[in-house]
Amino acid sequence: MNSNIVLIGFMGCGKSSIGRRLAKRLGHEFLDTDDLIIAHAQGTSISELFANDGEERFRERESAELRELVEAKDIVLATGGGAILREENRALLHRIGRIVWLHADPETLFERASRNRKRPLLDVENPRSTFNALLESRLPIYESAADIQVDATGLPHEQTVDEIIRVLAVGDVPKASSGAS
Ligand code: S3P
């Protein structure tokens, strides 16, 4: 197995900030599927891509980025919250590296996910009910796609990184890890 780490999880769980720190600690390169999509779309933002081309086209771009990464080495990859929706993507993510589901309680996720308007799926009239419905439908997918789970609720980012490294070192046996008590 290569040493790549793939972070999955709902919007607002901290994949990018935690992933960046984790990469630094491991001496890996940090990549983020949203950033790769934006770079390949000549800087067009995620919100503009959703507005101009629709979600399905965005999902195609996401899959295209993942296909490019199957040979990547020594990376920490943060994925968009919906990257696990396609079966093709889930298979690609498993080929890329060990999949860590970064989770947090719904209040934390909602507060962080709605801090800015960079998330088109929540830029709607009633973001909380959309958030609830998306979270409910996706939780089982994160759970089954993950090799390892880490609950970041209440943990500062550096401690979440410690926890991810600890759980990775233990191996795949304990699927769940609770951060804060
Ligand atoms: C999405 C999550 C976003 C981004 C896009 C769609 C989703 O990424 O890919 O807005 O479907 O959950 P983050 O999880 O980094 O916010």
Beta partners for residue 102, in sequence order: 150
Ligand 1 pocket by C-beta < 6 Å: which residues?
11, 15, 34, 46, 80-82, 119-121
Q: How many angstroms does the Cα of residue 12 sit away from the middle of ligand 1? A: 9
Taking the CA atoms of 167, 139, 87 and 24 in sequence, report the sign of the dihedral they define. negative
Predicted local distance difference test score (pLDDT) of residue 174: 46
Between CA 8 and CA 96 the distance in angstroms is 12
Ligand 1 atom at shortest distance from the alpha carbon of 11: 14
Distance separating the N- and C-terminal Cα atoms of the chain: 32
- Extents of the domains making up the chain: 5-170
Shortest-distance Cα residue to atom 12 of ligand 1: 81
The CATH class, in words, for 5-170 is alpha beta
State the pTM of this model. Answer: 0.94
Neighbours of 178 (CB within 10 A): 11
Q: How far is the CA of 57 from the centre of ligand 1 (A)?
A: 14
Q: For each successive 10 residues of the chain (181 residues), what is the average pLDDT?
A: 92 97 98 98 95 97 98 98 98 98 97 90 94 98 97 96 94 51 39
Axis crossing angle, helix 33-40 with helix 46-53, rounded to the nearest 10: 60
Atom 9, ligand 1: residue with shortest CA distance: 80
The confidence score (pLDDT) of residue 177 equals 53
Give the span between the Cα atoms of 131 and 137, in whole angstroms.
10
Shortest-distance Cα residue to atom 10 of ligand 1: 119
So what's the pLDDT on residue 176?
A: 53
